[in-house]
Amino acid sequence: MALMEQMREYTKAILILLVLAFIGTIIFDWGMDVTGLKQKQGVIAEINGQEISIDQFWRTYQQELENYRRQYGTEPSQATQEYLRNQVWEAMVRDVLVQQEIQKRGLKAYDEEIFHYIVNEPPEILKRDSTFMTNGQFDRAKYEAALRNPQAEPFWKNVEDYLRAILPFQKFQDEFASLVYVTESEVREEYLKRYQKAKVEYLLVDANRFADAEIEISDDEIKAYYNEHKDEFKEPEKRKIDYVIYSKLPTRHDTAEVEQLAKDLLLRAKSGEDFAELAGTYSADNSASQGGDLGFFKRGTMVKPFEEAAFGAKVGDIVGPVRTRYGLHIIKVTDRKRENGEEMVRASHILLKFEASPQTIEAARDSAGYLAALAKEEGWEKAVEAENAPAQSTPFFPEGSGFVPGIGVEREVSRFVFRNDVGSISDPIETEQGFVVVRIADRQKARTKSLEEVRAQIESLLKREKQKALAGDFARKIKKDIDNGESFEVIAKRDSLEHKTTDPFTRNDFIPGIGRDPVFIGTAFALNTGEISEPVEGMRGYYIIKLLEKTEFDEEDYKAKADLIRQDLERRKQQQAFAQWYENLKSKAEIKDYRNQYF
């Protein structure tokens, strides 16, 4: 029965237009994460004339809300909701465009293909199901018995529907895969990137060495740079707001109530009440469903106050309340053991979080609502003065990321600010901090910053370039000393230069003190052992590099790893091929976006 239910769910997911379960593909990631909405009717998008209903969007949104709650044990923030809604939108558009392309190409699943897969190549979803397993392995005999069972006919009809929906997508994937070819030289190059290591000694002439040098930047140089880089100084429309936030953080009274509840629960648990039942009722984390059981853990796993309390108690002890950054914990130690020489404790807990009470949240909501109504009736200044509200103002800011100075990444606030006129006053908007009421104070049109505004910035950039040029000149003089036989050690001491020897590193590694400087790394691997480079310009200044050692190409190790590398490169190329194809397809599509009617 469990398998039947599972397959029905998979079938539903496939047959719903916008939830195409192209599972396991190396090209697509159909996964979506979303959060809640109110039930709405209508159309949220038209994609090449094909309407997508808000109801379809809503169903996916609700399902992923549950996924988020299960995974994180909490409600998503406003910023997360916005991010997840955008993820759903992008996935919807992609799914529909791909499905339209599949139909255009005439890709179908034929009866003989479906029969072949059911009999000879069962889908992975079936091979992984415990119904068809023996000792954790797919059991062909069990599978064939199910195929012969007439009572299983409805189940096999679900499997048939699943394959009929999924095979066209598999064929589509295969077409992309056929376009990708990875050469032997590409595999060898990737092997070298991952596994070949170099060790170097280097001298650095840091550009900051010349920070105090007398460098003059002429007005003509500044003007020339400005004219050549004008596009870099463009900025979008910006707005500034006045706002009031009514906090929904816990009050002292809320905190005191949590502390009292913790004391009461500790007393009840010590008095003999079932700890697991108390945890299941009161604990504010995912362990509540397991009666608060956290399993075994070693030192260093938990936050320090929790760990000290748990390891300091005996088996059967109930201790607390213990305060951590997560809240208050009532802890019951249920077992101890030693494993691999380390002491381990098993404990259950009840976690109480410091959160605002419903009364606190409602009071903040009501205050924000009253201020908004009064401001719309009497004007912002009068309302703020009458309510003695803690009004604040922002500088000008763009819409872009949804960041609002003083408030944070709150896209709902940003949307209001950039979709309404100057002087508009919002209804209360719930944010992470609380309920905010906003007045749009002013608007600055999209523009290019003037030369005078960016003069100091340009002057700093040009000065940095000249400092680097001086570092280059100095490094070239040093290289002549090295060519004449002077050692790195002598020169470094004489000229107060950074002189270091690296640990062995690959082309993909982060090198302490260097970072992932491509010039430094590329130069190092291009040298022969013992060879010293010419001065090369890196991110910090100019380097002179001596290769101390470099691992040779290991033919046997390469043979052992080549197939996996080739598969990785194929996946990467397929993803790139699809991304390029999809962006081109999307750019030519007629996409009508009606999200602003709902959010």
pLDDT surpassing 90 at residue 263: yes
pLDDT surpassing 60 at residue 324: yes
The one-letter amino acid code at 483 reads D
Beta bridge partners of 514: none
Q: Look up residue 84 and give its two tokens.
A: 């997840």
pLDDT surpassing 50 at residue 417: yes
Helix (H, G, I), strand (E, B) or coil at 482: helix
What's the pLDDT band for 73 if we cut at 50, 70, 90? confident
Residue 38: phi and psi, rounded to 5, are -90, 150
Distances in Å between the Cα of 15 and the Cα atoms of 162, 288, 377 are 8, 36, 51
Q: Which of 39-53, 217-231, 506-520 has the lowest mean pLDDT?
A: 39-53
Axis-axis angle for helices 153-178, 78-105 (nearest 10): 80
Query: Which pairs count as long-range contacts for 98-107, CB under 8 Å and 24+ apart, including other chains?
Result: 98/20, 98/28, 98/169, 98/172, 98/582, 99/17, 99/20, 100/47, 100/48, 100/50, 101/172, 101/585, 102/168, 102/169, 102/172, 105/172, 105/175, 107/168, 107/171, 107/172
pLDDT surpassing 50 at residue 22: no
Q: How confident is the model at residue 35, as a pLDDT?
A: 33
What's the pLDDT band for 152 if we cut at 50, 70, 90? confident
Q: Which of 150-154, 304-308, 474-478, 583-587 has the lowest mean pLDDT?
A: 150-154
Specify the DSSP class assigned to residue 531.
-
Q: How confident is the model at residue 176, as a pLDDT?
A: 78
Q: How confident is the model at residue 232, as a pLDDT?
A: 93
pLDDT surpassing 50 at residue 29: no
pLDDT surpassing 80 at residue 519: yes
User: Alpha-carbon dihedral of residues 167, 170, 172, 175, nearest 10 degrees?
Assistant: -130
Give the CA angle between residues 298, 304, 309 to the nearest 5°: 80
Distances in Å between the Cα of 168 and the Cα atoms of 127, 162, 461 are 21, 11, 54
Distance, in Å, from the CA atom of 189 to the CA atom of 472, rounded to the nearest integer, reads 31
pLDDT surpassing 80 at residue 15: no
User: Alpha-carbon dihedral of residues 22, 24, 27, 30, nearest 10 degrees?
Assistant: 50
Q: How confident is the model at residue 41, as a pLDDT?
A: 54
Give the CA angle between residues 85, 91, 97 to the nearest 5°: 140
DSSP sequence for 137-184? EE-HHHHHHHHH-GGGHHHHHHHHHHHHHHHHHHHHHHHHHHT----H
For the chain, what is the mean pLDDT?
Answer: 87
Domain residue ranges of the chain, discontinuous segments joined by +: 2-178+592-597, 197-231+452-550, 237-248+358-445, 252-352
Q: How confident is the model at residue 28, as a pLDDT?
A: 33
Specify the DSSP class assigned to residue 485.
T
Question: CATH topology of 197-231+452-550 equal to that of 252-352?
Answer: yes
Q: How confident is the model at residue 387, as a pLDDT?
A: 92
Top-confidence residue, 74 or 213:
213
Q: Which helix (H) or strand (E) holds 585?
A: helix 555-588
DSSP sequence for 187-243? HHHHHHHHH--EEEEEEEEEGGGGTTS-----HHHHHHHHHHTGGGGEE--EEEEEE
pLDDT surpassing 90 at residue 172: no
Q: In the chain, what percentage of residues exceed pLDDT 90?
A: 55
Distance, in Å, from the CA atom of 247 to the CA atom of 383, rounded to the nearest integer, reads 18
Q: Give the burial class of 311: count Cβ atoms within 10 A of its Cβ; 0-12 exposed, 13-18 middle, 19 or more buried.
A: middle
Top-confidence residue, 15 or 184:
184
Q: Which CATH number fits domain 197-231+452-550: 3.40.109.10, 3.40.50.300, 3.10.50.40, 2.60.120.260?
A: 3.10.50.40
Top-confidence residue, 130 or 199:
199
Helix (H, G, I), strand (E, B) or coil at 333: strand
pLDDT, mean of residues 547-560: 94
Cis? peptide before 321, omega within 30° of 0: yes
pLDDT surpassing 90 at residue 485: yes
The architecture of the domain spanning 252-352 is Roll (3.10)
Q: How confident is the model at residue 149, as a pLDDT?
A: 87
Q: Give the burial class of 392: count Cβ atoms within 10 A of its Cβ; 0-12 exposed, 13-18 middle, 19 or more buried.
A: middle
Q: How confident is the model at residue 596, as a pLDDT?
A: 74
pLDDT, mean of residues 239-243: 95
What's the pLDDT band for 496 if we cut at 50, 70, 90? very high
367-411 confidence digits (pLDDT tens): 999 999 999 999 999 999 999 999 999 999 998 778 899 998 888
pLDDT surpassing 70 at residue 589: yes
The one-letter amino acid code at 572 reads R
Q: How confident is the model at residue 237, as a pLDDT?
A: 94
Q: How confident is the model at residue 2, as a pLDDT?
A: 45
- CATH of region 237-248+358-445: 3.10.50.40
Q: How confident is the model at residue 14, as a pLDDT?
A: 35
Distance, in Å, from the CA atom of 410 to the CA atom of 475, rounded to the nearest integer, reads 49
Q: How confident is the model at residue 19, as a pLDDT?
A: 33
pLDDT surpassing 50 at residue 246: yes
Q: How confident is the model at residue 405, as a pLDDT?
A: 92
Q: In the chain, what percentage of residues exceed pLDDT 70?
A: 93
How far, rounded to the nearest angstrom, does the alpha carbon of residue 474 sit from its chain's CA centroid? Answer: 44
Q: Which helix (H) or strand (E) holds 380?
A: helix 380-387
What's the pLDDT band for 38 if we cut at 50, 70, 90? very low
